[in-house]
Amino acid sequence: MRQIIIIFLTCLFVSLSGLKAQSLVICDQCELKTIKEGIAVAQDHDTLLIRKGTYREFNILIDKPLTLLGVDSPVIDGQDKGEIFRIVSDSVTIDGLSIINVGTSYTSDYAAIRVVKSDHFAIRNVVLEKLFFGIYLERSNNGIVSNNKILGDAQDEYNSGNGIQLWYSKNVVVEGNIVQGVRDGIYLEFADNISISKNHSRDNLRYGLHFMFSNDDSYEDNIFENNGAGVAVMFSKRIKMERNIFRRNWGTASFGLLLKEINDAEILGNTFEKNTIGINVEGSNRINYLNNNFVENGWAVKIMGACYTNTFRNNNFIYNSFDISYNSKLNDNVFDQNYWSDYTGYDLDRDGIGDVPYRPVKLFSYIVNRSPETIVLLRSLFMDIIDFSEKVSPVFTPDKLADTRPLMKKKI
Amino acid sequence: MGKILKYSFYDLIRSRWSYIYFMFYLLLGFVLFFLNNDVSKAVITLMNIIIVLVPLIGTIFGVMYYYNSREFTELLLAQPIKRSSIFLGQYFGVASSLTLSLVLGLGIPFVLYGLFRSDAIFDFSLLLITGAFLTLIFTALSFNIALSNENKIKGFGYSVLLWLFMAVIYDGLFLITLILFEEYPLDTFSLVATMFNPIDLSRTLILLKLDISALLGYTGAIFKQFFGTNTGFVISILMLILWTILPIWRLVYKAKRKDF
Amino acid sequence: MIRVENLHKKYGRNEVLKGLDLQINSGGILAVLGPNGSGKTTLIKCILGMVLPNKGDIHVLDMPVKNNWKYRSQINYLPQIADFPGNIRVKELFSMIKDLRQQTDRKEDLIALFGLQPFLNKKLSTLSGGTKQKVNIVLAFMFDSPLIILDEPTNGLDPAALISLKKLIREEKEKGSTILITSHIMQFVEEIAEEIIYLLEGKIYFEGSIASLKKSTGKSNFEHAIAAIATTSIDG
């Protein structure tokens, strides 16, 4: 059904885009037996209908505005020989193809689909398997990458590539993709104004999503699960992170989200569940953490280095081993009206806000920061006792680091 | 030995204290499972209680039983029974009745709650096994103390001190050492120090099998190797067995050389 | 029956037995006497293997005591203070000891003799001191053994029970058993014992019949005779 609608829409688009446009059919028994032949004979804005079958082709260059439309999931088998598609023209659409056996190389980053200096591309409903790099956008703007399935089987970081990579690309929408088993699920470098939503990135070797030097991007409603290290946002400005789920990034050096040198970001309504570290923050300023859920993480939030003017408001901190860890001064960071499952205070005036402040940094967390080996004393009676005494009369932990208006009930 | 064990065991399971101990766990189990509704959460709470309470109860019961049955022991010593059989029998009688209270007390609510449908069954069994080990270890230690101290008050005092040391003071000294020498690589030291205290050892063993082990592996390569693989689990179990065998061996050794 | 050679025992710095030699032949009732701390109980416990001597050898029925426990099946022992696990019933205690020794017993007669039937189903912790002692005596006489050792058997007994006890001891003697008794009730000793040994400062100070004791001390009263050896020993 979906297929039919897509074909219909494509036909509509093609018919609108110029009267000259026509459809060329490629199949085993057709006149055109390979995609390369098809591209060679096609006119601008033609549609190549690629019928079901296996096409053993690689290094396919698309140098004119074309639509490649797979009918009943045709398979392009690269036989591990190199790159499959290279798009060097604007307005190219690839839809409904299945690509396998992309070549692996230590010298060039072979991709299943590489878009080079081309705008208005669309890559949809593509299934990639046994790949090196998946979809590689290079200096290409104003495109869309949606509903693709990238199923890698990467074993080691040094000989694996990224699922979707954006490099010097702007205004791209990445939506509804499933990426798994590659090095970084989605990787952005110098990519601005990108919207990443409803993707599911899991079981990747390194990061589920990785930002480097990319500004004004947003990612929403994604699920990042069981990745080697979680999601990393580094050296970027004005990133919006909303309603994502960061789950089960359990590993000795894993976190849900890593923020490194990030300024002016919004982190809203996300869920961090069962990560070694929920959010690891290093040198990041002016970030608003609002309405997030931190559930059963080792550390919910670990703040390292100088961080200024961060606000934590209306978050839920539920059953984390450590809620907050600081290795520097509190500076002017604010904790206000969060819910803390460890809070044992009372609310006499029944306004929903606890009457005594909550101190989210336990003494133990402070000690572990100083000498990490002390973590072996986790959950020992001695630690509980000194944590309790510290709670009653703080000596070591920064006095000001407190939520003076802790919520009595979970924020929904 | 079997006969002595049997009688000591029957004697103990009919004592009021065994019932109180059993009822305590039963109640705890029910409260945790039915109010909390989250088995893995309950396992962590139970761990916190077990690693503190089981050694305490094992120590106190062991010392109490030894001193209370001193005259009876003398009666047995005049019977044609091997000395080691008498003491091992009594020891295993105490340890097994305590273990039974623990296993049944927590096991019944767990089974009723639907343990077999839960994937926490492994964690829970590990918890009970560790609890059993702690009972064996601390009962043996307390028997050792009682054997070496004719004075009841002294023996009792030493036992409580032993518990306090293992449960709290040891970790305090451990922590101070770690902080004092923080410039040095301490991961091997801290693992070894953990092995020398059965309470720490049990705690580590249970944490190892919970998700939380990732947290422990965060610290460095040696921790990662220990907590991230089966190495830690195997070593910890072996150490627990050693911790059980040594005091039992000393118990037999002491008993053979003591005048009554 | 019992052969003790050069027996030494120290508790810390306190030397209790200093090279004690003793030969006890089969049959008869022997009382071990001596002031407090003279080593009576230590000697008995050495024979039973409960106390391990520092030096010296003990043979019971020609079996060495050291590192051996099987010889104890030939001994019945009545300890000085008897206390039992509180949660076990009297009946269970009897069957337990029988179970442990695997010998034929005659507990029924003894229970009847001391009137213990009403207590059979009671827990041991609920019994009075005297009743406990009766239970204790039943345990000591339950089995037929060539050697019977009684440490202060008269403790807490009412007169009727005391008579029964004496009767029992005599019966055992008739059967040819050897009976070793310690007691500080001289009247009881005089009545029952044939031979006495008197321990002093870890050695045997006197060994012989009551008659020879009276003769050697020149006292016609047994109690005075005993007191006389005690005083001479202090003077000497």
Would you call A160 an interface residue with chain B, using a CB distance cutoff of 8 Å?
no
Check pLDDT > 80 for residue A377. Answer: yes
Three-state DSSP class for A386?
helix
What pLDDT sits at residue A250?
Answer: 82
Q: Which residues pair with C179 in a beta bridge?
A: C29, C148
- With cut-offs at 50, 70 and 90, classify the pLDDT of residue A16: low
* Cβ distance of C86 and B12 shorter than 8 Å: no
Least reliable range by pLDDT among A209-218, A336-345, C88-97: C88-97
β-pairing verdict for C195-200 and C203-209: antiparallel
What is the mean pLDDT of the segment spanning B81-89? 90
Check pLDDT > 50 for residue C235. Answer: no
Q: For tokens 């010298």, what's the residue?
A: A107
On chain B, the residues whose CB falls within 8 A of the CB of C45 are 259-260
* Rounded CA separation A392/A400 (Å): 14
What pLDDT sits at residue C224?
Answer: 86
* Cβ distance of C86 and B15 shorter than 8 Å: yes
* Cβ distance of B218 and A276 shorter than 8 Å: yes
Considering only CB atoms, C99 lies closest to which of B3, B11, B82, namely B3
Among the listed residues A53, A307, A375, A128, the one whose alpha carbon sits nearest the alpha carbon of residue B213: A375
B175, with CB counted inside 10 A (0-12, 13-18, 19+), is buried
- Report H helices in A205-362: none
Considering only CB atoms, B200 lies closest to which of A250, A296, A380, namely A380
Assigned token pair, B165: 């040391």
Q: What is the CATH number of the domain that holds A225?
A: 2.160.20
Which other chains touch chain B, taking contact as 3+ CB pairs less than 8 Å apart?
A, C
What pLDDT sits at residue C236?
Answer: 40
* Rounded CA separation A109/A161 (Å): 7
Residue C67 makes CB contacts below 8 A (sequence gap 6+) with none
Residues C38/C201, Cβ–Cβ less than 8 Å: yes
Assigned token pair, A185: 């699920």
**DSSP H or E run through A399:** none
Q: What percent of chain B has pLDDT over 70?
A: 92
What is the mean pLDDT of the segment spanning B150-167? 94
Mean pLDDT, chain B, as a whole number? 87
Q: Which residues pair with A330 in a beta bridge?
A: none
The pLDDT tens digits for C58-104 are: 998 888 888 888 888 888 888 887 677 777 788 888 888 888 888 88
Residue A331 lies in a domain: yes
Among the listed residues B224, B222, B204, the one whose alpha carbon sits nearest the alpha carbon of residue B214: B224
What is the mean pLDDT of the segment spanning B42-57? 87
* Domain C2-235 architecture: 3-Layer(aba) Sandwich (3.40)
The CA-atom distances, in angstroms, between B106 and each of B20, B42, B43, B116 are 13, 11, 11, 14
Q: What percent of chain C has pLDDT over 70?
A: 97
* Cβ distance of B7 and C51 shorter than 8 Å: no
C in contact with A (at least 3 C-beta pairs within 8 A): no
Q: For tokens 């979680």, what's the residue?
A: A230
Dihedral sign for Cα C52, C55, C58, C63, please. Answer: positive
* Rounded CA separation A95/A117 (Å): 20
Three-state DSSP class for B243?
helix
What is the mean pLDDT of the segment spanning A78-90? 93
Among the listed residues A281, A292, A335, the one whose alpha carbon sits nearest the alpha carbon of residue A312: A335
Residue A361 lies in a domain: yes
Among the listed residues C59, C62, C50, C68, the one whose alpha carbon sits nearest the alpha carbon of residue C9: C50
Q: Phi, psi (5° rounding) for residue C37? A: 80, 15
Maximum Cα–Cα distance across chain C:
55
Check pLDDT > 90 for residue A331. Answer: no
Highest mean pLDDT among B130-139, B220-229, C80-89, C218-227: B130-139
What pLDDT sits at residue A49?
Answer: 94
Residues A123/A135, Cβ–Cβ less than 8 Å: yes
Q: Give the burial string for A238-252 (b: 16+ CB within 10 Å, else e).
A: bbebbbbbbbbbbbb
Q: In terms of residue numbers, what domain contains A116?
A: 104-392
How far does A250 lie from chain B, in Å, by closest CA? 6
Considering only CB atoms, C79 lies closest to which of B3, B74, B259, namely B74
Dihedral sign for Cα B207, B211, B214, B215, please. Answer: negative
On chain B, the residues whose CB falls within 8 A of the CB of C88 are 7, 10-11
CB atoms within 10 A of CB B149: 18
CB atoms within 10 A of CB B177: 17
What is the mean pLDDT of the segment spanning A99-107? 86
What pLDDT sits at residue C102?
Answer: 83
Q: Give the burial string for A186-224 (b: 16+ CB within 10 Å, else e).
A: bbbbebbbbebbbbbbbbbbbbbbbbbebbebbbbbbbb
Residues A85/A113, Cβ–Cβ less than 8 Å: yes
* Cβ distance of B79 and C101 shorter than 8 Å: yes
The DSSP-derived string for B13-78 is HTSHHHHHHHHHHHHHHHHHHHHH--HHHHHHHHHHHHHHHHHHHHHHHHHHHHHHTHHHHHHHHT
* Rounded CA separation A158/C94 (Å): 78
Residue B233 makes CB contacts below 8 A (sequence gap 6+) with B205, B208, B209
The CA-atom distances, in angstroms, between A264 and each of A213, A288, A301, C130 are 14, 8, 18, 89
- How many domains does chain A contain in total? 1
- With cut-offs at 50, 70 and 90, classify the pLDDT of residue A42: very high
Residue A65 lies in a domain: no
On chain A, the residues whose CB falls within 8 A of the CB of B194 are 376
* Rounded CA separation C52/C42 (Å): 9
Residues C107/C141, Cβ–Cβ less than 8 Å: no
Identity at B56, one-letter amino acid code = L
Assigned token pair, A35: 């995609």
Would you call A396 an interface residue with chain B, using a CB distance cutoff of 8 Å?
no
Residues A140/A116, Cβ–Cβ less than 8 Å: yes
Check pLDDT > 60 for residue A11. Answer: no
What is the mean pLDDT of the segment spanning A206-224? 95
Residues A128/A151, Cβ–Cβ less than 8 Å: yes
Would you call A383 an interface residue with chain B, using a CB distance cutoff of 8 Å?
yes
On chain B, the residues whose CB falls within 8 A of the CB of A274 are 211
* Rounded CA separation C125/B95 (Å): 22
Which other chains touch chain C, taking contact as 3+ CB pairs less than 8 Å apart?
B
Residue A231 lies in a domain: yes
Q: Which residues pair with A218 in a beta bridge?
A: A195, A240
What pLDDT sits at residue C63?
Answer: 87
Q: Which residues pair with C229 in a beta bridge?
A: none
Check pLDDT > 90 for residue C203. Answer: no
- Report H helices in A147-285: none
Assigned token pair, B149: 């101290």
CB atoms within 10 A of CB A156: 8
Among the listed residues A227, A235, A181, the one whose alpha carbon sits nearest the alpha carbon of residue A207: A227
Among the listed residues B87, C10, B176, B215, the one whose alpha carbon sits nearest the alpha carbon of residue A383: B176
What is the mean pLDDT of the segment spanning A140-152? 95
CB atoms within 10 A of CB B8: 25
A284, with CB counted inside 10 A (0-12, 13-18, 19+), is buried
For C85, nearest residue in chain B (alpha carbons): B69
* Rounded CA separation B11/B137 (Å): 21
Q: For tokens 């030291």, what's the residue?
A: B189
Interface predicted TM-score (ipTM): 0.84
The DSSP-derived string for chain C is -EEEEEEEEEETTEEEEEEEEEEE-SSEEEEEE-STTSSHHHHHHHHHTSS--SEEEEEETTEE-TT--GGGGGEEEE-SS----TTSBHHHHHHHHHHHH---B-HHHHHHHTT-GGGTTSBGGGS-HHHHHHHHHHHHHSB--SEEEEESTTTT--HHHHHHHHHHHHHHHHTT-EEEEE-S-HHHHHHH-SEEEEEETTEEEEEEEHHHHHHHHT-SSHHHHHHHHHHHHHH-
* Cβ distance of A367 and B179 shorter than 8 Å: yes
Residues A247/A227, Cβ–Cβ less than 8 Å: no
Q: Give the burial string for B215-245 (b: 16+ CB within 10 Å, else e).
A: bbbbbbebbbebbbeeebbebbbebbeebbe
Residues C44/C72, Cβ–Cβ less than 8 Å: no
Residues B71/C151, Cβ–Cβ less than 8 Å: no
Three-state DSSP class for A304?
strand
On chain C, the residues whose CB falls within 8 A of the CB of B70 are 83
The pLDDT tens digits for A246-287 are: 998 887 778 999 999 999 999 999 999 989 899 999 999 999
**DSSP H or E run through B197:** none
Residue A404 makes CB contacts below 8 A (sequence gap 6+) with A336, A357
The CA-atom distances, in angstroms, between C56 and each of B185, C40, C50 are 58, 17, 15
What is the mean pLDDT of the segment spanning B213-238? 78
For B222, nearest residue in chain A (alpha carbons): A373
Would you call C96 an interface residue with chain B, using a CB distance cutoff of 8 Å?
yes
